[in-house]
Chain A
Amino acid sequence: MTKTTCMTTTPDRGAETGVVAYLLTAAAVVLLMMVFGLLMRLEQAQLIEMGPQPFYKLMTLHGAGMVGIAGIAGAAVMWHFLRQYVALSTGILFANLALFLAGVVMILTSVLLGDFHGAWTFLFPLPGSSMGMWSTQAAALFMAGLLVIGVGFLLLHLDVARAIIGRYGSFARALGWPQLFGHDDGKAPPPTVVASTMVTIVNVIGLVVGASILAMMLVNLYVPAFRIDALLAKGMIYFFGHVFINATIYMAVIGVYEILPRYTQRPWKSNKVFLASWTASTLMVMFIFPHHLLMDFAFPKWMLIMGHIIGYMNTIPILLVTGYGALMLVYRSGIRWDMTARLLFVSLFGWAAGAMPAFIDGTISVNYVMHNTLWVPGHFHTYLLLGMLAMIFGFMYYLGKPAQDATDGMLDRMAFWAYTTGTLGFVLSFLYAGKESVARRYAAHLPEWVPYDQAGAAFAVLLISAALWFMLRFFGRLSLARRDHTRASLPYGVVAA
């Protein structure tokens, strides 16, 4: 064996049963939800005909399902890497999955049997005012399902909090505050710990707020005298929803922090800029939520302006710390471009690129003519599909990698390009329609909007085929994924003899 100074000798850990179970659950649900998404797009494109009620039922399932599995998949990445540093409970990992599956059954029952279609955002008072389209029981079952899922995640994050505090003493230390605000002795916790701490803080708060409004609305369903203020409810729902969906990306990006340094044999250090950006993101991801209420003129104006401003500032860490950091690592690194490297690299592009139309939409005067148009699904599908989900697929390829010098097949490479172009085309069809004022969440579109829908549906087919291939690949490599072996520890050009 030739040895070089920077070679890691320990093999990369394989995935625990729980992590594999999370990924399999996520993959199965993602595929189904993607097909639901395609059906919605086909309906808008007038290529199939299902009618409004089935459309909105699919929309409700797609939203809840995708957000839920984004959390599950992100948690799998976080858990897998975080357990290198802290002692996490496998029991809790499974408990969360069990609660998740229970919640999924409740939601499916509510929507498929109870006809609930009040959207995953369950905006008060819609679940309780359906004009007889669904029953109070169906609405209650849906919200209780979300509550059960939320409780599962809360347990998981509390366990992460316990483990992090057990090892590092406090959140402040785990976020590297001694090094951030004092002398940087180079001993700040690794990026994985910093990111996990951030996610834990924001998600615990977000989930408690989400659970509170769900509980309040459940009471209100049966005891209408228990009144809820609609603006307060909306603020709480979007606080929870925004934090939760963003946290999924902040969890998934841990895979990039861990894997890219192995591929490039360059360290991703928690230096002052890194620590500052994560502390800033911790605050910003929580205080940005008023940008969902910019068209609620009754909301306190200073908070709306705060949403506008934080929307601009929030992109700086994404762009100049994480995105730029990855570029630094890769530049002249001699990285081996296998599927893992490609997907992780493109995922940071997807995240950063999606942030552009997002912060622009957070500009109040733009939001005035673009809020609740297809512009919004346009930007969030960019960072969820080409960002978050690409991170997950990259992680799957990494786990399933047979050996560090294994090469990918032709179909893998084709799938990569199909996924990238398919996703870009798909999101651009949304963004362009948004520019053309096409409203989001419309089961039926005007004739002049239909061409964008048809283009979007075609690109969706392309990207779904690619995603299907990624997942089949992972399913075929489950035993490899569980094994401890060297996946990417050798720098390119150093031949293991």
Chain B
Amino acid sequence: MKGEHIMQEIAWQASLILMALVALGFAFVAINSGGRYEDYAPLQKRAYRLRLALFWGVVLVFGPTMIYTLVNLPYDAAHARGVRDARPAQVIQATGHLWYWELSETEIATGHPVEFRVTSADVNHGFGIYDTNMKLVAQVQAMPGYINTLRHTFDEAGTYKIMCLEYCGTVHHAMVAELTVAGR
């Protein structure tokens, strides 16, 4: 269950740590702002050296992160994890309407890859899949004139919700549908 929300956790913790580091830098300088060094040039020289080090530090930490996170993108077919058998994916047509979802099927088996073909009959909607803990596990835009294919494998049984994740007007917040995921 936790495994599904690992991305949110990482994003939150990484943001907090990075924001705290930035805050520390600013606090350090604010505390050490007194006691003026009249001669700026030597200070500048030292600061530029430190900046170069920081630059390479940033490149070395975030460069690989940036590339690593490009592996296994949601756009790739391999994205449906847990493909444990050779059966073809279950295809579900999902169409957004003002203000309801039209789903060709709503019963899904655990561990079986599902391919949602998502589109819209009117305005833009967002197809967001919420798990039994009401945490977002996958999403894609539902755009008129386009079919976006979202691949996902449900590992846990239960009732999942589809919530609209693109503002579509007055009843946007109540545009909800359900998926039933049952064990095989």
Instruction: Give the residue among B55, B126, B139, B174 with the most A Cβ atoms within 10 A.
Output: B139
Considering the complex, give the chain B residue whose CB is closest to the CB of A443: B173
In whole angstroms, how far apart are the Cα atoms of A349 and B171 in the complex?
Answer: 38
The distance from the CB of B20 to the nearest CB of chain A, in whole angstroms, is: 9
* A407 proximal to B (CB < 8 A): no
Q: Is the CB of B43 within 8 A of A328?
A: yes
Given A360-B14, A365-B7, A432-B12; A439-B145 close (CB under 8 Å): no
Residues of B close to A477: CB separation below 8 A: none
The distance from the CB of B155 to the nearest CB of chain A, in whole angstroms, is: 15
Q: Which residues from 109 to 129 on chain A have a C-beta closer than 8 Å to any C-beta of chain B?
A: 117-119, 121, 123-126, 129
The distance from the CB of B143 to the nearest CB of chain A, in whole angstroms, is: 5
Q: Is the CB of B74 within 8 A of A365?
A: yes
Considering the complex, give the chain B residue whose CB is closest to the CB of A448: B134
Q: Is the CB of B55 within 8 A of A335?
A: no
* B95 proximal to A (CB < 8 A): no
* B25 proximal to A (CB < 8 A): yes
Q: Which residues from 142 to 184 on chain B have a C-beta closer than 8 Å to any C-beta of chain A?
A: 143-150, 163-174
Total A-B Cβ pairs within 8 A? 222
Q: Is the CB of A130 within 8 A of B169?
A: yes
In whole angstroms, how far apart are the Cα atoms of A448 and B135 in the complex?
Answer: 12
The distance from the CB of A320 to the nearest CB of chain B, in whole angstroms, is: 6
* B123 proximal to A (CB < 8 A): yes
The distance from the CB of A271 to the nearest CB of chain B, in whole angstroms, is: 9
* A316 proximal to B (CB < 8 A): yes
Residues of A close to B147: CB separation below 8 A: 298
Given A327-B29, A364-B74; A52-B173 close (CB under 8 Å): yes
* A309 proximal to B (CB < 8 A): yes
Q: Which residues from 120 to 151 on chain B have a C-beta closer than 8 Å to any C-beta of chain A?
A: 122-124, 126, 128, 130, 134-141, 143-150
* A185 proximal to B (CB < 8 A): no
Q: Which residues from 317 to 367 on chain A have a C-beta closer than 8 Å to any C-beta of chain B?
A: 319-320, 323-324, 327-328, 330-335, 337, 345-346, 348-349, 352-353, 356-357, 360-361, 363-366
Q: How large is the interface on B (under 10, 10 to 19, 20 to 34, 35 or more residues)?
A: 35 or more
Binding stretch for chain B, among A72-80, A147-155, A169-177, A368-376: A368-376
The distance from the CB of B29 to the nearest CB of chain A, in whole angstroms, is: 4
* A444 proximal to B (CB < 8 A): yes
Q: Is the CB of B47 within 8 A of A328?
A: yes
Q: Is the CB of A125 within 8 A of B144?
A: yes
The distance from the CB of B178 to the nearest CB of chain A, in whole angstroms, is: 15
* A286 proximal to B (CB < 8 A): no
Residues of B close to A369: CB separation below 8 A: 5, 7-8, 136-139
Residues of B close to A373: CB separation below 8 A: 136, 165
Q: Is the CB of A370 within 8 A of B136?
A: yes
Partner of B62, one of A119, A312, A375: A312
The distance from the CB of B57 to the nearest CB of chain A, in whole angstroms, is: 10
Q: Is the CB of A319 within 8 A of B58?
A: yes
Q: Is the CB of A118 within 8 A of B34?
A: no
Considering the complex, give the chain B residue whose CB is closest to the CB of A55: B173
Residues of B close to A119: CB separation below 8 A: 167
Partner of B22, one of A126, A133, A353: A353
Q: Is the CB of A330 within 8 A of B143?
A: no
Q: Is the CB of A305 within 8 A of B70?
A: yes
* A25 proximal to B (CB < 8 A): no
Q: Is the CB of A126 within 8 A of B148?
A: no
Complex A-B: 27 CB contacts under 8 Å: A123-B123, A123-B167, A125-B122, A125-B123, A130-B169, A131-B99, A295-B126, A297-B150, A301-B75, A308-B66, A312-B66, A319-B22, A319-B58, A320-B51, A324-B54, A335-B33, A346-B26, A356-B19, A357-B15, A364-B70, A365-B72, A368-B139, A371-B139, A371-B165, A373-B136, A431-B15, A439-B163
